[in-house]
Copies of this chain bind each other. A is one copy, B any other.
Amino acid sequence: MDKMISQAVIRRLPRYYRYLGELLDDGVERISSNDLSKRMHVTASQIRQDLNNFGGFGQQGYGYNVAYLHEEIGNILGVNETHNVIVIGAGNLGQAIAGYVKFEKHGFRIIGLFDINPELKGKRVRDLTIQMLDDLPEFVKHNDVEIAALTLPKTSAKTVAMKVVNLGIHAIWNFAHVDLDDIENVVIENVHLSDSLMQLSYNITQHKN
């Protein structure tokens, strides 16, 4: 990789992508950093800086072509390719995530749902059948699994994560309330719902005073 892009920039990319998608749906052909900045409540300067980390997508005197920029950011994010995802932990959250991601376009495809509870074995969740975690090695052999979403209790998360990585899955979407950052050779994205709720709680308290 060339120069390292900061996570602050990367966190903003999906939001640009979303706004450009909406503009595209609205039939808007071109937009200037200034107009986009007004819609998104960020500075035009930041938009131009962010985009220029990846290349010059605009044109002086014209602005940015919406369709082109949308496409390019999609490429940067990798949402124009297919990503196969399995969900491990078939509780409420796991089932919800399995259903949710399926609804999203963006190339993410849920191809398996796993659990350790034998009672769930064979149960159908929409068009998926819950499989046992013991069958994962065999499954991985025959399917190209890129991402494992972990929607399981924090007690088992670490062990399962290591198992998953050993099987050759090098990306984890972690919903368990535990840090997995000491595992080698894996890209991790955390969704810590209770952290999010606590931040909300803090901001409520501040807002009152």
Contact = CB atoms under 8 A, between A and B. Distances in A.
A202 B76 contact: yes
Interface stretch (A63-71, A99-107, A132-140, A157-165): A99-107
A132 B112 CA distance: 34
Contact of A201 (B77, B198, B201): B77
B195 A14 contact: yes
A152 to B, nearest CB: 12
A18 interface: yes
A15 interface: yes
A93 B147 CA distance: 20
Given A41-B181, A194-B14, A171 B204 contact: yes
Nearest to A73: B198
A77 B92 CA distance: 27
A167 interface: no
A100 B41 CA distance: 33
Interface residues of A, number: 56
Interface stretch (A27-35, A116-124, A184-192): A184-192
Interface in A10-28: 10-11, 13-15, 17-18
A196 B201 contact: no
Interface in A164-209: 170-171, 173, 177, 179, 181-182, 187, 189, 191-207, 209
Contacts of A41: 181-182
A204 B187 contact: yes
A177 B18 CA distance: 9
B189 A191 contact: no
Interface in A50-105: 76-79, 83, 91-93, 95-97, 99-101, 104
Nearest to A108: B197
A187 B203 contact: yes
